[in-house]
Amino acid sequence: MKRAPIIAKIATACSILCTGNTALSAENANNAGLPEVVSYYEHVRPIFQGKCHGCHQPARSKGEYVMTDVAQLIAGGESDMPVVVAHEPTESYLLDMVTVQPGDDRPEMPEKDEPLTPYELKLVTAWIDQGAIDDTPENARQRFSKDNPPQYAVAPVITSLDFSPDGALLAVAGFHEVLLHHADGSGLVARLIGLSERIESARFSPDGKRLAVAGGLPGRMGEIQIWDVGKQSLILSKPVGYDTAYGARWSPDGKYVSYGLPDNTVRAIDAETGEQSLFMGGHNDWVLDTAWSVKGDHLVSVGRDMSAKLTRVETERLIDNITSITPGALKGGLNAIDRHPLRCRTIF
Ligand code: HEC
């Protein structure tokens, strides 16, 4: 991989020296670093996953446009015209949406997010140019939505449970969904089906109006979902990293949601905008759960490195380990943590 730019430079220099054809050399430079065959699954999907799927998926399809399935990505949404025309990048409306148009100072999409980088644009353009082929492996297709809910042959492993603060509802993590039950056992209220197949944690907000879900597609993406419990609708789907997210918790004021990732980091996002508000990289292994102090000014995180760490929220700085220092006292990692709802000792 590292050699590619050098080879490209040699090729460019050679074409100038050998043919004097500067147009050709410009084209070579333009495609420098691009794979010869651009794969949807390997190259294009991660771009859309990171920057588009949050607003263009079955549970949240802005402009009635779903991009998590290639046939729908090509077909388009409310505009009723094909968004991608195979072999015809210039006819493909999608590319107009992600490039700056005359009179504008930024591309229209992704709304409220960083535009695609020049390299990402080249990849998407080349994928369309090469025929917009869908090479998604069968087992990685997004199959489930409200209209096509998961079916259970046997009861799934339940990774997380939470009561709503008023005790009326129980959220149960399932496969690809969180099931909301009446807590008195009288039946199911709703199935909240999102992109993540593995749900690791579901938590009601302090006022019970929203539900934060941490999960992902193992080895492919992490995701934090925020649902409106009353409307049973997905308010936010934030892609976070490239592996499952764990341990979602609300700050006491309901503004932020913290979580842990297998990249050894503890993070928090603004629950309205999805913007990252905290990042602490001091763990040595996967971070599996988080807990806020009563006042919301400190965060404790635990993980597979057998430590519980205290972070000051305002500075995003690790203060110290709060785990026992007795060597070998803890084996097998720390999976979960919770704090007393009211008691506030020293820093807690
Ligand atoms: C924060 C939400 C948000 C994100 C992220 C986002 N979009 Fe959109 N998108 C919208 C909304 C809202 C509309 C409908 C209104 C409009 O056209 O502006 C839309 C419409 C579109 C349409 C028009 C579909 C049709 O048939 O009319 C395309 C194409 C599109 N988006 C592409 C993208 C791409 C590509 C990305 C990622 C690079 C992206 N969007 C990211 C919110 C978003």
Dist. CA 331 → ligand 1 center (Å): 48
Atom of ligand 1 nearest to the CA of 108: 18
CA–CA gap between residue 202 and residue 215 (Å, rounded): 9
Q: How many CB atoms lie within 10 A of CB 182?
A: 12
Q: How far is the CA of 249 from the centre of ligand 1 (A)?
A: 29
Distance 255 CA to ligand 1 centre (A): 26
CA of 248 to the centre of ligand 1 (A): 27
pLDDT digits (tens, 9 = 90+) for 199-232: 999 999 999 999 999 999 999 999 999 999 999 9
Structure tokens at 177: 């969904």
Sequence-distant (6+) residues with CB within 8 A of 88 are: 128
Q: Could you report the per-residue pLDDT of 33-78, keeping only the tens digit for each?
A: 899 999 999 999 999 999 999 999 999 999 999 999 999 999 999 9
Q: Rounded to an integer, what distance in angstroms lies between the CA atom of residue 67 and that of residue 45?
A: 9
List the structure tokens of 223: 């995701």
Give the distance (Å) from ligand 1 centre to CA of residue 65: 7
The span from the CA of 210 to the CA of 115, in Å, is: 29
Q: Which tens digits make up the pLDDT trace of 302-339?
A: 999 988 999 999 999 999 988 766 666 667 788 999 98
Ligand 1 nearest atom to the CA of residue 51, by list position: 37
**Ligand 1 atom 6: the closest Cα is on which residue?**
110
Q: Distance between CA 242 and CA 222 in Å, rounded? A: 6
pLDDT at 276: 96
- Measured from the Cα of 83, ligand 1's closest atom is 29
Residue 178 CB burial class (10 angstroms; 0-12, 13-18, ≥19)? buried
Residue written as token pair 């996002």: 269
**Predicted confidence (pLDDT) at residue 159 exceeds the cutoff of 80:** yes
Alpha-carbon distance of 243 to 162, in angstroms, equals: 23
> Ligand 1 centroid vs 74 CA: distance in angstroms?
13
- The tens digit of pLDDT for each residue in 69-82 reads 999 999 999 998 88
348: CA distance to ligand 1 center in Å? 43
Query: By percentage, how much of the chain surpasses pLDDT 70?
Result: 88
Q: What is the pLDDT of residue 346?
A: 47
What span, in angstroms and rounded, lies between the C-alpha atoms of 9 and 24?
Answer: 13
Question: In the chain, what is the greatest distance between 2 CA atoms, to the nearest angstrom?
Answer: 80
- Please, are residues 256 and 269 in contact by the beta-carbon 8 Å criterion? yes
The neighbour count for residue 340, using CB atoms within 10 Å, is 9
Average pLDDT score over the chain: 89
Q: Integer distance in angstroms from the first to the last C-alpha of the chain?
A: 49
Residue 38 C-alpha to ligand 1 middle, in angstroms? 23
pLDDT greater than 50 at residue 19: no
Residue of 40, 57, 97, 121 to mutate, ligand 1, most atoms within 8 A of C-beta: 97
**Which residue's alpha carbon is nearest to atom 24 within ligand 1?**
77
Give yes or no for a contact between 221 and 140, defined as CB atoms under 8 angstroms apart: no
Instruction: Give the mean pLDDT of 286-314.
Output: 95
Pick the more confident residue, 116 or 1: 116
Answer whether residue 27 shows pLDDT above 50.
Answer: no
Which pLDDT score, from 0 to 100, does residue 30 have?
62
Query: Which residue ranges have their beta carbon within 6 Å of ligand 1?
Result: 51-52, 54-56, 62-63, 65, 76-79, 83, 93-94, 97-98, 108-113, 116
pLDDT score recorded for residue 340: 87
Residue closest to 335 by CA, chosen among 247, 264, 267, 213: 247
Q: Check if the beta carbon of residue 186 is closer than 8 Å to that of residue 213.
A: no
Distance, in Å, from the CA atom of 8 to the CA atom of 18, rounded to the nearest integer, reads 15
Structure tokens that stand for 301 in this block: 């995180």
